[in-house]
């Protein structure tokens, strides 16, 4: 702590300042460290200091003098509603002006009117049901716009699901590879099939997330090598540049490790991610 009169640094148990001799009280002490860290820390409601998140703005309330991180004032549901208005407001605006009449009687508020034209003749007011063809066209255009937006959203979702499935396949392959090494430490050889790993080493054999089939695995006893792989859906996946790329380790090997082809014809994806014990 520091003296509020001269700024001299004091011990926590000091009652008098050794520089100016002023009596030191708890209310007269300047907590210098707290102010020096003001840019890195914020004050919570109970007076404690906590680390800030650089992604959030630090605010000072003009009503209660609170200093700290501001919380979001916009709710997600209203964000979605606002973006929906941006997309559909032009359509609703056109539909409103087409489906409604321009004038009404100020006395009875009826829209069943005759409007005087340049020749001085009262003609029926156009609008509403008399323009049903335009209304139908606008509705169809709106449906088409909604369909396009829905297809874009679905395409994004499908891409995210594909990446999620590929991530699971790679994680499963690495998990099986680790389990194969544990099996080798116990029996000094690799299993003839993945079924030998269950239930002692694995509660159940991992399967492909798309067709629920067991991953491709071949053991070559003469070469004492195994070939393990799974076909990925994403052609440009970064893991394809770090796999083994082995093709047919022995006569019984049916796994084609080339990245441009499936590991096995029964696999769901089209790009082989393979590993061996080399």
Q: What is the DSSP string of 61-117?
A: -TTT--EEEPPP-S-HHHHHHHHHHHHHHHHHHHHHHHHS-S---TTT-----EEE-
Return the pLDDT at 53: 56
Question: Is 232 part of a structural domain of the chain?
Answer: yes
CA atoms of 52 and 67, how far apart (whole Å): 11
Spatial CB neighbours of 97, under 8 Å, sequence gap ≥ 6: none
Name the pLDDT band for 24 (thresholds 50, 70, 90): low
Average pLDDT, the chain: 77
- Residue 29, CA distances (Å) to 7, 85, 126, 160 in order: 9, 55, 81, 57
Q: In this structure, are 242 and 215 located in the same domain?
A: yes
Q: Which tokens sit at 246?
A: 């082995």
Q: In this structure, are 222 and 186 located in the same domain?
A: yes
Q: In this structure, are 209 and 186 located in the same domain?
A: yes
Name the pLDDT band for 100 (thresholds 50, 70, 90): confident
Domain span at 60:
2-69
**Range among 114-128, 173-187, 235-249, 258-272 rated most confident:** 173-187
Q: In this structure, are 8 and 93 located in the same domain?
A: no
Q: In this structure, are 89 and 188 located in the same domain?
A: no
Reference 57, options 46, 65, 67; nearest CA is 67
* Statement: residue 230 has pLDDT above 60: yes
Dihedral sign (CA 104, 105, 108, 113): negative
Question: Is 136 part of a structural domain of the chain?
Answer: no
* pLDDT tens-digit map of 151-167: 888 888 888 888 899 99
* Statement: residue 119 has pLDDT above 60: yes
Question: Is 204 part of a structural domain of the chain?
Answer: yes
Return the pLDDT at 47: 46
CB distance 25 to 33 below 8 Å: no
* CA 211 from centroid of its chain's CA atoms: 25
Q: In this structure, are 49 and 81 located in the same domain?
A: no
Q: Which backbone phi and psi does 234 adopt, to 5 degrees?
A: -90, 120
pLDDT higher at 17 or 216? 216
pLDDT higher at 57 or 202? 202
Question: Is 139 part of a structural domain of the chain?
Answer: no
Q: In this structure, are 171 and 248 located in the same domain?
A: yes
Return the pLDDT at 217: 92
pLDDT higher at 208 or 34? 208
Mean pLDDT along residues 4-20 = 68
Question: Is 242 part of a structural domain of the chain?
Answer: yes
Mean pLDDT along residues 128-141 = 67
Name the pLDDT band for 130 (thresholds 50, 70, 90): low
* Statement: residue 25 has pLDDT above 90: no
Q: In this structure, are 231 and 166 located in the same domain?
A: yes
Q: In this structure, are 170 and 264 located in the same domain?
A: yes
- The single residue listed with the structure tokens 């997309």 is 87
Question: Is 246 part of a structural domain of the chain?
Answer: yes
Q: In this structure, are 42 and 83 located in the same domain?
A: no
* Statement: residue 219 has pLDDT above 90: yes
Question: Is 141 part of a structural domain of the chain?
Answer: no
pLDDT higher at 176 or 139? 176
Q: In this structure, are 243 and 207 located in the same domain?
A: yes
Q: DSSP state, 126?
A: P
Q: In this structure, are 61 and 82 located in the same domain?
A: no
How many domains are contained in the chain? 3
CB distance 257 to 229 below 8 Å: yes
* Statement: residue 41 has pLDDT above 60: no
Percent of the chain with pLDDT over 70: 73
Question: Is 104 part of a structural domain of the chain?
Answer: yes
**Range among 5-9, 192-196, 263-267 rated most confident:** 192-196
Return the pLDDT at 49: 43
Q: Which of 35-44, 139-148, 238-247, 264-273 has the lowest mean pLDDT?
A: 35-44
């Amino acid at each position: 702590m520091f003296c509020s009169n001269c700024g001299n640094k004091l011990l926590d148990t000091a009652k008098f300042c050794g520089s100016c001799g002023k009596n030191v009280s708890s209310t007269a002490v300047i907590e210098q460290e707290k102010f020096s860290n003001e840019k890195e820390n914020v004050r919570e409601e109970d007076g404690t200091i906590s680390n800030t998140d650089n992604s959030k703005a630090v605010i000072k309330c003009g009503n209660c003098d609170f200093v700290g991180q501001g919380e979001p004032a916009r709710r997600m549901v209203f964000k979605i509603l606002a973006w929906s208005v941006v997309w559909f407001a032009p359509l609703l605006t056109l539909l409103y002006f087409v489906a409604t009449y321009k004038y009404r009687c100020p006395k009875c508020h009826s829209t069943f009117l005759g409007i005087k034209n340049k020749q001085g003749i009262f003609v029926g007011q156009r609008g509403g049901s008399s323009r049903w063809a335009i209304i139908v066209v606008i509705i169809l255009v709106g449906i088409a716009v909604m369909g396009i937006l829905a297809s874009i959203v679905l395409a994004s979702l499908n891409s995210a699901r594909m990446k999620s499935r590929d991530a699971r396949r790679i994680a499963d392959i690495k998990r099986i590879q680790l389990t194969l090494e544990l099996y080798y430490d116990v029996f000094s050889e690799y299993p003839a099939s993945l079924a030998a790993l269950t239930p002692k080493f694995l509660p159940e054999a991992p399967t492909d997330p798309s067709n629920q089939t067991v991953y491709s695995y071949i053991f070559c006893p003469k070469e004492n090598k195994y070939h393990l792989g799974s076909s990925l859906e994403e052609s440009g996946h970064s893991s394809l540049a770090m796999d083994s790329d082995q093709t047919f380790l022995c006569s019984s090997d049916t796994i084609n490790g080339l990245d441009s082809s499936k590991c096995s014809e029964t696999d769901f994806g089209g790009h082989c991610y393979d590993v061996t014990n080399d």
